[in-house]
Amino acid sequence: MVDLDRLYLAPRLIAPAIVAVGALVVLEVGAYLGWHESPAARNAFGYSRDTAFSVDKSFVQISSAASRRFWTQRYPLVALNGTKRVMLIGDSASRGPSFARSVSEALREQLDARCGIHAEVWNLSSPGYGSRRKEVVVDKALEFRPDLVIYDANVSTEYEDSREWERYLEYHSWHPKRWVDQLPFLGRVKLSKIERWNWEWLPEDVRAASLSEPLDVKIAAIASKTDTAYWTPLMLSNLDRTVDMVRRSGAPMLIFVRSHFDFASGAVVDGGLDREIEERYAPRTGIVVESSRALLSSHGDLKRLFADTSHWTDAGKDVIAGGLVEPVSRLLGSPRRCTRQGG
């Protein structure tokens, strides 16, 4: 039923409505042209193969984009003569607090200083990335013909991968409630609000419970990031595919098994993951397995090496890079013996 007493207001609302629609169109077009961000890539939550990579003439540009928080880097499309190309794929620990303070940069410097190897060490690590999204990154990295792939293996980020995969499936639905998510401006604003309120600030169990409808069977495991009995077989299954993919490319692979620091006991632990991965992959040709537990445990003051349970200090990062230099040198086929650290 039309309220005739207020019908006179209709002409007054037409102009503001037109202005609002026009402003929204301008914002959407501006966002599309200015952000250079594909809504599809944004809503892929890290499962898009090409996100964060762009090729400009003879160079590869790597940047932070969508749910992929890489450090900004730029490399020749084809590695220069005499330069080795190494790809490091991992999560926030391998990413580091900055590119200059990352383990990838420390490794590059030590390869040059101790082994005489000139190398690009691409840091393709993003916070929260588990084995499923690392597999996507490795697949893209192989396009640029690496001489070596270094893979940071652990189970602590498998929860995030599972959570983001469910979000990916939900956001790619044709349900009308998801149509606005495909817009450059409104979609990004909406997602940022969800990130802030539903994911960043809510407790882990509440975040996990929000996915309970499509994950009734898995919810108990998803509610715990530390349920290694659940996550380890899934991680190893995904790693199987990644290892096969790398070996088919012809590149050697170093699997770096990451450990954690237990402040209560003062010990570096990985729940036996290093032994399990060693037995599973080390016998394969072109695969080397290194344990961060073994590298770090030989140093006296372990607290000095860890910023928290999962992330290294600068001192810890240097120990890791120093321990990886020799196996990396061998995998790169260097005939020269590396000098001792600091020697």
**52 and 70 share one domain:** yes
258: closest CA among 155, 337, 332? Answer: 155
Nearby residues of 233 by Cβ (< 8 Å), 6 or more positions away: none
Residue pair 304/313 in contact by the 8 Å Cβ criterion: yes
- pLDDT digits 0-9 by tens, 258-283: 999 999 999 999 999 999 999 999 99
Residue pair 126/96 in contact by the 8 Å Cβ criterion: no
| Residue 40 pLDDT | 65
**171 and 306 share one domain:** yes
**19 and 152 share one domain:** no
**212 and 74 share one domain:** yes
**12 and 108 share one domain:** no
| Residue 218 pLDDT | 47
The domain tally of the chain equals 2
Residue pair 223/205 in contact by the 8 Å Cβ criterion: yes
Domain that holds residue 12: 4-35
- pLDDT digits 0-9 by tens, 144-191: 999 999 999 999 899 889 888 888 887 776 556 554 555 444 445 454
**195 and 250 share one domain:** yes
Residue pair 138/246 in contact by the 8 Å Cβ criterion: yes
| Residue 216 pLDDT | 45
- pLDDT digits 0-9 by tens, 287-342: 999 999 999 998 878 999 999 999 999 999 999 999 999 999 999 998 888 988 76
- pLDDT digits 0-9 by tens, 25-50: 555 455 455 555 566 666 778 899 99
- pLDDT digits 0-9 by tens, 54-94: 998 899 999 998 889 999 999 999 999 999 999 999 999 99
| Residue 96 pLDDT | 96
Mean per-residue pLDDT for 116-131?
96
| Residue 335 pLDDT | 85
Give 214: exposed, middle or buried? Use CB within 10 Å, 0-12, 13-18, 19+.
exposed
pLDDT beyond 90 at 7: no
**136 and 246 share one domain:** yes
**216 and 102 share one domain:** yes
Q: What is the CATH number of the domain that holds 280?
A: 3.40.50.1110
**142 and 180 share one domain:** yes
**297 and 310 share one domain:** yes
Residue pair 90/152 in contact by the 8 Å Cβ criterion: yes
**17 and 133 share one domain:** no
| Residue 202 pLDDT | 41
Separation CA 160–CA 154 (nearest Å) = 13
Q: Could you tell me the pLDDT band of residue 229, with boundaries at 50, 70 and 90?
A: confident
pLDDT beyond 60 at 210: no
Mean per-residue pLDDT for 219-238?
77
For residue 262, CA distances in Å to 111, 160, 306, 327 come to: 30, 22, 10, 27
